[in-house]
Structures are given as C-alpha cells and as structure tokens.
Chain A
Amino acid sequence: MSEAAQHRQLSALDLRRILGVTRALAAPFDLTTMLAEVVNAAAQVLDAERGSVWLHDAATHELVLKVATGLDSVRLPAGKGIVGTCARTLQIINVPDCYADPRFDPALDQASGYRTRCMLTLPLVDHKGGLVGVLQVLNRKGRSFDGDDEALAMALAAQCAVALQRVRMTEAMLEGERMRNELEMARAVQLSTLPAIMPIVPGYDVHGLFQPADLTGGDTFDLAASADSLLVVLADATGHGIAPALSVTQMQAMLRMSLRMGASLETAFTEVNNQLAETLADDRFITAFIGQLDLATHRLRFHSAGQAPILHFQATTGTCARYKPTSFPLGAMPIVSLRPAVTLEMQPGDILVLLSDGVFEYHDPDREQFGENRVEAIVQTHHGKSMNELAALVLDEVNSFARGAPQEDDITMVLVKRAAQETTLSRAFARDFGALNAIFSFTADAFTRLRVDAALLPTIDLVVEELFTNMVKYSPESRAEVYIGLARIENGVEVTLTDHDVEPFDVTQSPEVNIDLPIEERTPGGLGLQLIRRLTDSVEYAYSREDRQSRITIRKTQPGPQSPGNAAKAGGRDAGN
C-alpha cells in the first residue's frame, strides 16, 4: 500500500459506501454473480469505467480472467506482467499512464478493442492472508487514480476477498456433495471466520472457544491482535441456521475492515449497526460485545450491543464487576446518539469474561439455568489457571450441571487475562541467521526479567538456536518473522517458536539419530532435534493449515539432567537402539 493509502483517515461517508457494497456482496452464492457484483462495486465506488477480476488458480499457479467485457477465457502465469506482479508481491499497483509503462501488455486492449488509460491493480487477499485473486479497475473518470482511491480500493478489496472466499467454499462443498443440508453450510460459514490459532499478545493470555449446538445458532467471536491493540468480539445473532450464521459473518467482516482502515470504535460500531439495520429482517438482530484493548495502557474500551453480562474479574478484590450493554442489539434500528464507550482498567491478574447465552441459559432437566453466579464462582476459584484451562473448566461445569440435558444454543467464550506478573515475553526476529545474536540477548534478558533459573539458559539457547536455524534453512521462501516467546512456569520455563507462511514440519516426528554408528558414518544432521528431545521435558507441535503457521512449544524444568525423568528418557534411547 502506498503512503497515502496508509495515512488516510477513513471518513464516515467512505465507510458507508463500502459497507453498502459489503451488503450487496453478502447475498450471491454463485461465483459468476458474485464476480459481476465485485466488478460493479469497484467501478461504482471508484468512479471508474470498468473493472476486471482475475482469480488465482492455486493448482496451476495461474491467474484466470473471469470478468471483463468481450473477452474469452484468458490465463496468465502468476508472476507475469502487472497482474502477476501484484499477485506475487500482494502490493497495490497504480499505473497512471498504461501505454507509458513497460509492464503493461496491450494485447488485451487489442483483443477487446478497449483503450486502457490508467489502471489500479490490487490483490484480493482473504482475512487469513491467502491470495484469492487480483482486482483491476480501469480508467477513472476525469483523471488518474490517486492515494485516496488506493485507500478506498484496498478497503473494497478486503470485502471482495471475504465474499469470494465464501463463494469458493460453498462451491467446493457443493461439488464434493459434502453439504448435506443448510445447517452444515451454516456451520461451515460460521467456523471459517473464527481464529484458527489464538493470537500472541505480550503480557496477556487470551482464549476463545466455540462449541456449536446441533441446530447451529449465530454465535461468533474474534480475537485479532495488532502491534498495539487487541480487538475483542463476541456476538450472537438471533435464530438458528444459515441466516444468523451469515449475519454474524458479515458483521465480523465489516467490523474488521472498518477498524483496519482506521475508523474509531464509535464510528465502526455505529456504521456497522446502521448497515445491519437496513439489511436485516425486522425480527432479526445481533447482540455483540466489541472491545479494543490498548496494550500499552491496559485500558479496554468497549461498546456492547445488548450483549451481557460482561464480567470483569478483578484480582485485587477477587470478585467480578458486572457491566451492562451500552446500546440495543446491532441492526435493531439506526443509532441516533451513541452512549460513550465503557473503559475497563485491566490490572495484573484481571480477566475479562465474555460468554454467550448458550452458557448462562443452559438449563438442566428441571429447567434451572446455569446462571451468572456459577460462572463467577468458577472464575474466582480458578483465576490462576491458563485461559485455555479456564474455558475447559467452565465447559466441564456446564456439562455436569446439565445432567444430560441437550445443548440447545451455541456456546461461545472469550477470555482475556492480563498476566498476574510479568510471566511471558515474546519478540519477532527476522528470518535470517544474522538474528542469532539478537535472539541470545533476548533469552538472557528474558531469563533475568522473568526470574528463571540461569542454569536452564544454555539448554533454552540450544533449543531456540536449533529450531530457529531449521526454520531459516527449511522455509527460505517465507519472508515472515519468527516469533519467540518465553514464559515462566513452575520450576522452569516454556519456550514457544511460531513460524508463519510455512509448510508443516512436525519436529516431534523427526527420526532418531543412530548415535552408535562409527565415526565415518556420523553426520551432524538431525542432532539438534535429538538434543532438544533429550534435554527438555516436553516438545509439542501444532500446525494451522489455514494460517500456514507452525508452533513448537517446549518445556524445561529443574532439576537438571540428573533427574529420574531424564534418566528414564536416556534409558529409552538405549532400549531403542
């Protein structure tokens, strides 16, 4: 994106225009209609003569021209020309004078008889960062495209990509005949919007959980971290089936886009509400908690559209404060005047607890509801546990309370805890061998700050060095930074390495090195992973296919290698040979 696009503030009017397009894009379920909508929307919003869409064919790594007047199917290798460059770099390309640009291929103009004067080319990237296609907008009326147009186009492209992704998914399901009924599709749509891996938030432990009911409801949640803030969303659309699932998906896309484009919490909340008020049927609405946590000040500002109760566990008192909604449910009617946002101060050890009705209103065979007090009691007892564990505990309690009564509504939880003391530190490092010294400085510093026994440092340095150098060596095509996190645990330390934009490689499955071979046959290969397994307590591997993200988690506790646990592992090695 150009500088102009980054620095531009999105006005409420722009936002309204784009959200209007989003609404149009929410309807079609077939690709042809959707693409026509995308091109129409682009031309309209950007005041351009026409547009075209190239879809990325991942199988052949080609770009296929899908919508452009008067042309049959055209295929380009991804990487070639302006369209290909855009697909490769995922950057917007603004060409003010096409015939003066050597990258421009006039062949398409010759074939169609149209003269392209200026052109804006931009990637359609889904919300998980994958290339969906390339959008081109041709010939802005009266002038060439400027920085404002670029900003608008980027916002639009984000919306188009989400819509296209949904259509592709639907088509794939239809082709595979996997979609047996509307409810399955509703659930797939719903699940596709949830974060596959919880974001890494320094100084916080965040966890979201979603357990759909048989008759899928309309719950969703979002936890999205940027450099200095965390977006926290929990929403519940009325009803069951495809309509509420689509409404919450649409709401989430609108919201993410508005905030990413720099709209304030208030503007985003109001505009999303007003758009939904126009779209949703009169008897439908969405309750939603939408909060922004400032990671520097630890202040969480939120608006809640009919979503309650909101529990704030306060570590200093050991009790929960309860908050009410700030507004009526989204989509119920246009917002004329919005009450101010509520601000929570997240102190060390505090937890924000957001649960959907599916928890509070779960009833046992005698029709008694689970209620707020039970939730509060669990949080008070188990606030020291990890948020992952706390969510599982709530679920367990609900299940035993239910005594077999069926789950009638979606269960969704979002838990955000500020670390009780400084117990975790993480940093991103360039994917380069040259980063090693900076990494060792980071681990040494983290050990001091987290008060971890320095005797464990050489082992942790070895773990980090071996895994980091493997990541650099084996995924050279990725340009993403590698995240390294350290957390103090009882008697030791947990280290996490997160690698983005990579193929899976399960380090726990790497073969044992035969260390009894004669020296002539020994090589250093595989030794690093072998050492890690021997020197540490546990090694875990997780991969998210959608995010193309690998995460390795390793724990190391005292006492050292003389402990019975490690002796047993060493014995296992001998037995294995």
Chain B
Amino acid sequence: MLAIDFAAEGVVAISGRLDAAQAPAAQAFLDRVQGTVTLDCRNLEYISSAGLGVLLKTQKRLLASAGKLRLAGVGRHLQDIFSYSGFDQIFEIEPAQ
C-alpha cells in the first residue's frame, strides 16, 4: 500500500509501494503541491513506470511555474531505476544516508 502526506514545510513523505494500482492516489496528491517540493523517499519500497509517470508529470507542472520536485532519501534500488530511466537527468536526487 502507499501513504503520501506533508511531513514538514516543503517536504512530502511517501512510503510503501508506488505501483500502477497506487499511482492515481499519488497523482491526486501531487497535483495539489506548489513551488519547490522535496519528496522524501526513505520509506518508498517500490516504484514502477506508472510511478515514474506520476513524478514526471508533477515535475513538468512545477518547472513550468518556476518550482521543482527534488527526490531525497533515495535507496540503492530506486537509484538504479532513476538512472536507467534517465530520471537522474530530470530530478535532483539525494541518495539515502
């Protein structure tokens, strides 16, 4: 399952699985954020191309209004996925500690 909510000023925490079944809920939430937002991915266990689509759409929208989406706490597996999909060229990515 997936949980997504504001954690602090400008920080959205996402946890669980961002798969095709959960993508619509994540999209609905991210459609409401504005400005520069850090997505805390420390507890994001899983992402598929449906989830990548959600992040891409959000980034396009935010960049158009001088904002952006940053990805923080990105673990090894997610880093592979972001680099193999070229998302490391689209997002600022901060690896997990």
Contacts and interface: CB of A to CB of B under 8 A. Distances in A.
Contacts of B17: 440
Contacts of B76: 560-561
B49 A531 contact: yes
Given A433-B21, A519-B59, A458 B46 contact: yes
7 contacts: A436-B20, A458-B45, A461-B19, A461-B46, A466-B49, A469-B20, A522-B86
A534 B84 contact: yes
B35 interface: no
Chain B interface size range: 20 to 34
Across the A-B interface, the 10 shortest Cβ-Cβ residue pairs: A515-B86, A524-B53, A528-B49, A534-B84, A527-B49, A436-B21, A561-B80, A465-B48, A519-B90, A469-B20
Contact of A465 (B20, B45, B77, B80): B20
Among B45, B50, B84, find the residue whose CB has the most chain A CB atoms closer than 10 A: B84
Contacts of B47: 462
B96 interface: no
A458 B81 CA distance: 11
Contact of B84 (A440, A466, A520, A531): A531
B60 A465 contact: no
A562 to B, nearest CB: 9
Contacts of A520: 60
The bracket for how many chain A residues form the interface is 20 to 34
Nearest to B53: A524
A459 B81 CA distance: 9
Contacts of B81: 462, 531, 535
Nearest to A577: B86
Given A433-B21, A469-B20, A524 B49 contact: yes
A530 interface: yes
Contacts of B85: 513, 515, 527, 530-531
B52 interface: yes
A528 B48 contact: yes
A570 B79 CA distance: 13
B60 A436 contact: no
Contacts of B49: 466, 524, 527-528, 531
A437 interface: yes
B93 to A, nearest CB: 14
B4 interface: no
A282 interface: no
A530 B84 contact: yes
Interface string B47-74: 1111011001001100100000000000
Contacts of B97: none
A519 B52 CA distance: 13
Interface in A500-528: 513, 515-517, 519-520, 522-524, 527-528
B3 to A, nearest CB: 15
B48 A535 contact: no
Interface string A412-451: 0000000000000000000001101100100000000000
Nearest to A519: B90
B63 A440 contact: no
Contacts of A528: 48-49
B89 A459 contact: no
A535 B77 CA distance: 10
B20 A433 contact: yes
Interface in A524-543: 524, 527-528, 530-531, 534-535
B55 to A, nearest CB: 9
B84 A570 contact: yes
A436 B18 CA distance: 12
Contacts of A534: 80, 84
Given A515-B89, A516-B86, A519-B56, 7 more contacts: A436-B20, A458-B46, A461-B48, A462-B47, A513-B86, A528-B48, A570-B84
A462 B56 contact: no
Interface in A50-96: none
A510 to B, nearest CB: 12
Nearest to B84: A534
